[in-house]
Amino acid sequence: MSASVTSSHPLERGFALDRSDAELVTAACQGDLSSFGRLYERHYRMAVGIARGRLADRHLAEDAAQEAFAIACRTLRTLRDRDRFPEWLGTICRRTASRLDADRPAHEPLPEDRERAGDSERRALRDQVQDALGLLDENSREIVVLHYFSGLSYDEISRALGLSVASIHGRLQRARGKLAKALDSSGAKT
């Protein structure tokens, strides 16, 4: 005699996997924490990417994203257009990242005791890329970071920023050109 085990957890049954952001927001506002958890899973990479566009430090960007989600959870009921959750979260994340950046004391990185072979070259290239990103306007930098560092598709970036896919494509293409020019002038090996 075999007994089948069925899960009562909504995510395990696939219940929340195909629900829209608006449906998940509504459920979360009614106290369904798993629905907010699904929003978190769905939009975490986007939030980190947005924060990383303003903060050069990946770990600080993750902190900003976490804080943005905490703020979103506390204020979710104030979201008027529940279909615009990604844009709303993005705004919270931008403000949080800007505040963390302003609050961060200026400091120089600590020197490393030993550098492995190739580490200094990678670090130099990373610094050149970071400097080149700094030359882009905030909107272009955000799109580049979301696409190349966070791995978001054009559609995902479009939803997150409230722009058309064609606009994302054009801005990304122009940003790549500016980055290539900046990296070529800095002597970076691309």
In this predicted structure, what is the pLDDT of residue 189? Answer: 60
In this predicted structure, what is the pLDDT of residue 12? Answer: 43
Residue 139 has pLDDT above 70, yes or no: yes
pLDDT (mean) for 97-121: 67
pLDDT band at residue 123 under the 50/70/90 scheme: confident
Residue with the larger pLDDT of the pair 190 and 137:
137
pLDDT digits (tens, 9 = 90+) for 140-169: 999 998 998 888 999 999 988 889 999 999
Cα–Cα distance, 179 to 174 (Å, whole number): 9
Average pLDDT, the chain: 83
Is the full-model pTM beyond 0.85?
A: no
Amino acid at 17: L
| DSSP, residue by residue, 60-129 | HHHHHHHHHHHHHHHHGGG-S-GGGHHHHHHHHHHHHHHHHHHHSPP-PPPPPS---TTHHHHHHHHHHH
Residue with the larger pLDDT of the pair 30 and 6:
30
Q: For the chain, which domains are there?
A: 12-103 (1.10.1740.10), 124-190 (1.10.10.10)
Cα–Cα distance, 46 to 143 (Å, whole number): 10
pLDDT digits (tens, 9 = 90+) for 18-61: 899 999 999 999 999 999 999 999 999 999 999 998 887 889 99
